Amino acid sequence: MTDVKWAEPGDLAAVAAHITQVVSRPGPKRLAFTGGSTPPRVFALLADRGLDWSEVTIALTDDRRVPDDHPASNFGKLHAALGDCGAKFERLEEGMDVAPFDLVWLGMGEDGHIASLFPHMQALIRPGPSVIATTPIPLPPEAPFDRLSLNKRALKATREIILVITGNSKKALVERVLAGSDAYPVSDILRGYGPPVTIYWSA
């Protein structure tokens, strides 16, 4: 069973501190960052820290299939905040395989989706590749786009996962999963076999 622990409830500074620790380890590091609305707030904290990113490769767990300059582009937001930091950026391309990570940072939607693995979706499942095309059903009104996503195997190929959630309803969903619900995409991350997970929650 996965080793899951809750971080002390706090703000997103604790998430930035966790990522800082990983970035500050000696040697090459591979990080996968989530999409959604929370990351830019953490990117802003990281950008202010003067970290040495020269041995860091940053990938995304998922993205919307939109141009980089579209407001819904996860890559666009990542690049706007950290594009000059010195890290190498690895773009998601359908059908590609990715090397294992040191840290995978996941967010979670109100429906329990992680990356762009939704409870109901069309996904092109092919043997092998880590990056798959997905289409949520129904398309969420706030981001009605086809997606690219790391599959679960790639998300779990990491030394550790941090799951960063905000709000009481997402906290309640995670508590249901930890109490035994297998109904959500996040269930397998928290209750299947895989790397240790630290959950960061803030109101």
Ligand X SMILES: O=C1O[C@H](COP(=O)(O)O)[C@@H](O)[C@H](O)[C@H]1O
Say whether residue 102 binds ligand X (CB under 6 A).
Answer: no
Integer-rounded Cα Rg, in Å, for the chain is 16
Q: Name the residue nearer to ligand X (CB basis): 125 or 139.
A: 139
CA-to-CA distance for 144 and 122, rounded, in angstroms? 14
- Contacting range for ligand X; rule: CB under 6 A; set: 78-86, 105-113, 178-186, 192-200: 105-113
How near is the Cβ of 52 to ligand X at its closest, in Å?
Answer: 27
Task: Label the pairing between strands 158-166 and 101-106.
Answer: parallel
Stretch that binds ligand X, among 20-28, 46-54, 104-112, 172-180 (CB under 6 A): 104-112
What CA–CA distance (Å, rounded) separates 59 from 30? 8
The span of 12-20, 47-55, 106-114, 193-201 binding ligand X (CB under 6 A) equals 106-114
Q: Say whether residue 38 binds ligand X (CB under 6 A).
A: yes
**b/e for 140-163, b at 16 or more Cβ within 10 A?**
eeebebebbbbbbebbbbbebbbb
Give the C-alpha distances (Å, rounded to integers) separating 71 from 12, 18, 104: 22, 27, 23
> Least distance to ligand X from the beta carbon of 122, Å?
16
Q: E strand or H helix at 18, and its extent?
A: helix 12-23
Tell me the site size for ligand X, rule CB under 6 A. Answer: 13
In the complex, what is the shortest distance from the CB of residue 69 to ligand X, in angstroms, rounded to a whole number?
Answer: 18
Dihedral (CA of 154, 142, 200, 26) sign: positive
Binding residue for ligand X, selected from 107, 112, 129, 185, defined by CB under 6 A: 107
Residues 152-191 contacting ligand X, CB under 6 A: none
| Contacting residues toward ligand X, per CB under 6 A | 34-38, 61-62, 107-109, 115-116, 143
